[in-house]
Structure 1
Amino acid sequence: MTPVILADLDDTIFTTLKSYPDRDPKTLQRVTTAKNGNHSYMCSHRQALLAWLSSGATLLPVTARSLDAFNRVHLDSFREGAIVSNGAMILAPDGSEDLAWSEAIAKKCEKAAATLARAIEELEKAPINIRIHQHMHKGIMLGMTVKSNDETQLGVDLNLRTAEKLFKESFQFSDVQVHRNGNNLAFVPGGVSKKSAVQYLLSIREDLQNRPTVGAGDSLADLPFMELCSMMLVPNNTQNSKKLFS
């Protein structure tokens, strides 16, 4: 009756150097490789927490990271499968893709494809300093992420707030959901979510059933899947902790 821990990764298990402004990176454990050089790290406290979470429990990542970005996480704690791309893909313990789930998700992504393509056109024409990452898998766009190139707090707020406002005004009845957390503005096809992926995974894997579950996450977008669980873990100084204690 050991627990199943369903954990977000970025800003929950590890974080970028923004959380360690006065620390020499050499004193931290680098745990990811980012294509833009903005790697993620763990301090000794986070390392100890991860070791504790993965000891005597089944630890499953539930992350917005694409498959490519997840494969650039250099930790050996995740051996029981994973949910990636905001719930668009489910991986078995051997790393193989759950094809039945992917087929169902592909239909939802196809419905949102035209909206996402038009949104990219509108955002690229707009006078805002952003970059757009499209999350593709087998020719299907599973979603996209918009980030501010100006990573100061003022720049992030201005650019992402403008991008989100532009999208919502242009696509009022959209088949795409928008979630913002820090310098990440995620565009997710309707019907795709971490919550639905967690529900499906717990229903098909007998080894996970009838066990206590713990949901861990920093973002408001994580709360729906966390609410499925027996208990929650919320990192301090995050969207979720501010919601709880503000």
Structure 2
Amino acid sequence: MTQSSRVFVFTDLDDSLFSSKRKHTKTADSQVASINKSGQIESYATLQQQKLVQMFTMLKASFIAVTGRRTSSYAHCIIDQVSNSEYAIVSHGALILDDNAALLPCWIKYLNNNYDMKHWQEKLTQTHCQLIDYFSAIKCEARVRLIVDHDICTYICIKIPTHNLQESLLTKINLYLQQLDFSIHGNEGNFAVLPPYASKELAVNYLVKKLNMSDKDVIFGIGDSLSDLPFMRNLDFAIFPKSSQIMKAISHV
């Protein structure tokens, strides 16, 4: 690697660098990766996930989180390489933060110049109410939240309770969501309803340009879900866990 070459790692967090207590089988090698605001453990990293971070750290890589978590949840991550990074992409790509977890002014200017933010803010609020009524009508106890981050409506989060995870119901819900004027990301019983500016690919491409990354640099992407593929496919290398949604999608190959 030449002296002028830099290494960047754009990485998803949940189910990529660590997993929740519910999904993680704790061992002697498990390392706490995130805690909640009460100081309770949320997530663990496996030995393999720890080694992956250590490998990139040895290369002096710059880590940039690319996560569906909003700013407050991103702050729960206690992996030094992630929490101390110069930039972070949060809320499914809707927002870019600086090293103080403040909004990057040039990104907000970019959004305002390229999107009718007032229109989409109102549309998200209306759709949130519409979805609450829909799940009530089909008698599904879904948790439907409008995610507001730094006073900006970024996306709608839907979580279907475990006892409602029948395939027929999920298919019905997915068909309904596809009719909305938004992009939809689904993974098991979790859905994200995304306006056009909530795009990990858009935010990653913006930072690639802002940081003047070139063919002299080496850029990695790490992710687990199909919604991560768009930002990963534009980078030099893509990494995904063996138990990921991506691996399941290509398991027939």
Asked if TM exceeds 0.5, the reply is: yes
Counterpart position of 2:50: 47
Aligned residues of 1:15 and 1:40 also touching (Cα < 8 A): yes
Decide whether aligned partners of structure 1 residues 38 and 141 sit closer, same or farther in structure 2, where only a CA change above 3 A counts. Answer: farther
Counterpart position of 2:158: 146
Within the candidate set 218, 225, 230, 1:224 is matched to: 230
Q: Deviations over 1:68-104 (max 9, x none)?
A: 1101112211223211111111123344421121233
Within the candidate set 71, 77, 82, 1:73 is matched to: 77
Q: Which stretch shows the higher mean deviation, 196-205 or 78-87?
A: 78-87
Quote how far apart the aligned CAs of 1:52 are: 1.6
Q: Deviations over 1:10-32 (max 9, x none)?
A: 111111134334x36x8632222
Within the candidate set 116, 120, 133, 2:124 is matched to: 116
The count of residues paired between Structure 1 and Structure 2 equals 237
Give me the TM-score of the superposition, normalised by structure 1: 0.84
Aligned residues of 1:109 and 1:140 also touching (Cα < 8 A): no
Aligned residues of 1:2 and 1:212 also touching (Cα < 8 A): yes
Q: Which stretch shows the higher mean deviation, 231-240 or 84-93?
A: 84-93
Q: Deviations over 1:163-192 (max 9, x none)?
A: 4333334x3xx1x21101233201111243
SS at match of 2:243: coil
Aligned residues of 1:160 and 1:185 also touching (Cα < 8 A): no
**Partner amino acid for 2:148?**
M
**Partner amino acid for 2:52?**
L
Quote how far apart the aligned CAs of 1:112 are: 2.3
> Please, which runs of 5 or more residues in structure 2 have no aligned partner?
none
Give me the TM-score of the superposition, normalised by structure 2: 0.82
Within the candidate set 93, 98, 114, 2:104 is matched to: 98
Task: Give distance in 2, aligned partners of 1:117 and 1:193.
Answer: 19
> Please, which runs of 5 or more residues in structure 1 have no aligned partner?
none
Q: Which stretch shows the higher mean deviation, 63-72 or 158-167?
A: 158-167
SS at match of 1:39: strand
Counterpart position of 1:58: 62
